[in-house]
Structure 1
Amino acid sequence: MNAFAKVIKAPEYPPQLKHKVIFETFDALKSGEAMLLINDHDPRPLFFQFQATRSNCFTWEYIEQGPIEFQVKIGKPNNI
């Protein structure tokens, strides 16, 4: 079984669609599921956007922190 319900490779999307795709994918996750975000830079601004719009409704865990590739496990807790 795959550890992630979905994998998003952010560099494959045009800049104007990246966050839209990421948030739509997250919103479609079921309780307890997680997605993997792969990016070519630290997605820290995205973390702050998650905090502002979905506080207490997500988990954020770095799996790889650069310098070339960043991988973040973004999950939806079981109680959501």
Structure 2
Amino acid sequence: MSGTTLDVRDVPPAERHPKIHSAFGEWSPGETLTILEDHEPKPLFCEFQAEVEAFDAEGYEVEQRHPNEFVARFPKR
């Protein structure tokens, strides 16, 4: 799988989800958008699961590396 990493830790909260949706929309099926967050991205996961048909929720992964660093992988089908 190919894709990119998007670090949104320094992006203002109100701008994060639109930026992530935009980046995800640029990728082809089979690619994965990896996101670096400063909190558990569960609300984003739920949003993608409910609103983004191309999101492969079964392939979603999240890892907490540090107290304020989460890596989430959003695969596209």
CA contact (8 A) 2:2 2:30 kept: no
C-alpha distance after superposition, 1:24-51 (max 9, x if no partner):
1111111100111001110101011011
Q: For structure 1, which runs of at least 5 residues remain unmatched after alignment?
A: none
TM-score, length basis structure 1? 0.78
Report matched runs for 1:28-39 at 5 Å: 28-39=26-37
Question: Aligned residue for 1:12?
Answer: 10
Runs of 4+ in 1 over 4 A off after TM superposition: none
How many residue pairs are counted as aligned between the two chains?
A: 74
Q: Percent identity?
A: 31
What does 1:39-54 align with in structure 2 at a 5 Å threshold? 39-54=37-52
Q: Which residue of 1 aligns with 2:60?
A: 60
Structure 2: unaligned runs, 5 residues or longer: none
